[in-house]
């Protein structure tokens, strides 16, 4: 990924922002292009380079109808996951993802004796800050103009750890998570949270690209069907964006809903993932 990918994402985010504000009027492509100060042809090129699909196809993935259809299709998949039992593992393209939880003692120590590595790199959804230890990735946050705030958030989670910037390794991690050409590999996550939050995040790890899940479906899958409000809090507490796919949680109405790293970014990820699994 390069700074060019960030520029492409910023254009896509601006287009989504305009569509969200004018959804009732169902704006045509020409209107969206004008709103982001581009010709239709130029907008077509940017969308195709960024997501591999046309703007028209991309916009279809942002509709409430598409979201509701995806929610219906996910029901059977979730029932199968419940029957089989949650495994705690996941697959992202060709990348196998495993995870483990920090112990209460480790959390209480504030990372004493641990080296916390960090670095920023450009992703398809803007700049991201990565954090990891020798035991795995513990942080992934998308940034806009708030990189310093994200750094402070990360360091506050590990107040007694030694910190070391490693931009080269962050770039390599970025290449694993958002590859140009997916390659087989493994990635381990180090999770910090309560037992309940772990169950919610583990349930999210069972979802797949292009799949949506409602808060009630997630509550059922996590074994707490009546705890929808607590489910929402657990989703919002996720510190490892994209890899623990809280972006796939939407409202039962088909509305995308809020996202810790921005509503436009959430919808951009929705369309990007849907495009990745759909025939071109």
Three-state secondary-structure class, residue 204: helix
- Partnered with residue 133 across adjacent β-strands are 136
* Residue 21 annotated among the catalytic residues of the structure: no
Q: Cβ-count burial of 58 within 10 angstroms (0-12 exposed, 13-18 middle, 19+ buried)?
A: buried
Is 35 in contact with 12 (CB distance < 8 Å)?
no
- From edge to edge, which strands make up the β-sheet containing 185-191? 90-92, 95-101, 185-191, 136-142, 126-133, 115-123, 162-165
Catalytic annotation, pick one of 21, 138, 143, 246: 246
Three-state secondary-structure class, residue 142: strand
**Active-site residue set:** 246
């Amino acid at each position: 990924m390069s700074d060019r990918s960030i520029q492409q994402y910023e254009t896509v985010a601006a287009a989504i922002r305009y569509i969200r504000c004018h959804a009732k009027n169902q704006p045509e492509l020409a209107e969206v292009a004008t709103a982001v100060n581009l010709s239709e042809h130029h907008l077509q090129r940017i969308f195709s380079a960024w997501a591999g699909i046309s703007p028209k196809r991309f916009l279809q993935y942002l509709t409430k109808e598409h979201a509701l259809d995806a929610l219906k299709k996910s029901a059977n998949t979730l029932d199968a996951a419940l029957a089989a039992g949650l495994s705690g593992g996941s697959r992202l393209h060709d990348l196998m993802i495993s995870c483990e939880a920090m112990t209460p003692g480790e959390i209480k120590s504030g990372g004493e004796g641990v080296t916390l590595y960090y670095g920023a790199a450009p992703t398809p959804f803007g700049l991201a800050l990565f954090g990891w230890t020798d035991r795995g990735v513990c942080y992934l946050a998308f940034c806009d103009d708030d990189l310093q705030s994200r750094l402070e958030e990360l360091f506050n989670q590990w107040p007694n750890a030694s910190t070391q910037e490693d931009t080269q390794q962050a770039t390599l991690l970025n290449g694993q998570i958002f590859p140009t050409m997916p390659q087989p590999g493994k990635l381990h996550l180090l999770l910090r949270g309560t037992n309940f939050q772990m169950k919610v995040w583990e349930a999210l790890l069972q979802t797949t690209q292009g799949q949506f899940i409602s808060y009630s479906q997630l509550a059922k899958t996590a074994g707490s069907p009546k705890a929808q409000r607590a489910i929402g809090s657990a989703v919002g507490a996720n510190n490892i964006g994209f890899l623990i796919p809280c972006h796939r949680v939407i409202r039962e109405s088909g509305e995308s809903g809020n996202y810790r790293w921005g509503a436009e970014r959430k919808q951009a990820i929705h369309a990007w993932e849907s495009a990745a699994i759909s025939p071109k």
